Amino acid sequence: MAIQTKKYIKCDDYKPLNLDLMYEGNKIVLDNLDYDLEAIINTEGPLTYNTLKERLREAFGVAKISGKALDVIIPHLKRFGYMETDNLFDKVIWPDRGIYKIDYVRMGYERQIYDIPREEIQNVLIEYYNEGYRAEDLYHKVLNFFGYSVLTKKALEYLEFVLKKM
C-alpha cells in the first residue's frame, strides 16, 4: 500500500487557564489562551473545532467548554487569521494561515472518523479506489484503515461527503 503515514503529534504544551479569570478579562489568562490556541493549532493542525475544544477542556481542566466560554475563545481564535474549511459536521482550522495539500495520513491518535480532515481521508479513499474498491466495500476499507469496524450512519454520511469533495 502506498499511503504515506506520519505520527499524529498531540499538543501538551499548555499554559494555565482559568474560566472565571478569563470571564473577568484577566490579561495573563487571555495571553495564555492566545498562547494555547497557537500551540494547539500549530502542533495538531489541521484540526476540527471539536478537537480544539477537547484540548481546551484539558487546558482549563473542565469537562465541557460552554457557549459562554466559546464567546470569549472564538474572537481570540479569529484574530490569528487561520483559514477554516467545512468538514460536514465541523469546521477544520488550518495552521500557517492557509489551506494546503495533505499527502499523508496522521496515525497513532484516536479520533472520530469525522474529526479527521477530509484531505487526509481522501488519500486513503484514492488508494483503495485505485485498487478497485467501490461503494460500501470502499468505505469499510477506509474505516478499517483508521481502526474502525462499524460503518455508522454518521460515518457513511461523512465518507460520502469526502468522496463527493474529491
Domain identity same for 22 and 81: yes
Paired strand residues for 47: 93
Measured distance CA(26)–CA(148) in Å, rounded: 43
Range of the domain at 129: 105-164
Domain identity same for 149 and 86: no
Contact yes or no for 29/18 (Cβ under 8 A) = yes
- What's residue 1's pLDDT? 57
Contact yes or no for 37/80 (Cβ under 8 A) = yes
- pLDDT per residue over 109-157, tens digit each? 889 999 999 999 999 999 999 999 998 899 999 999 999 999 999 999 9
Domain identity same for 14 and 54: yes
Containing 107, the helix (H) or strand (E) segment is strand 105-107
Q: In the chain, how many domains are there?
A: 2
Range name among 27-36, 88-97, 155-164 with the lowest pLDDT average: 88-97
Domain identity same for 27 and 89: yes
Measured distance CA(98)–CA(101) in Å, rounded: 10
Domain identity same for 74 and 112: no
CB atoms within 10 A of CB 145: 19
Domain identity same for 85 and 128: no
Residue 78: which region, alpha, beta or left (left: phi > 0; alpha: psi -120 to 50)? alpha
- pLDDT per residue over 52-109, tens digit each? 999 999 999 999 999 999 999 999 999 999 999 999 999 999 997 677 788 899 998 8
Asked which of 80, 97, 114 is the last residue of a domain, the reply is 97
Domain identity same for 25 and 66: yes
Domain identity same for 62 and 125: no
Alpha-carbon torsion (59, 61, 65, 69), positive or negative: negative
Domain identity same for 121 and 137: yes
Domain identity same for 80 and 125: no
Q: What's the one-letter identity of residue 149?
A: S
Asked which of 97, 123, 138 is the last residue of a domain, the reply is 97
CB atoms within 10 A of CB 111: 19
Asked which of 62, 80, 97 is the last residue of a domain, the reply is 97
Contact yes or no for 116/155 (Cβ under 8 A) = no
Domain identity same for 66 and 117: no
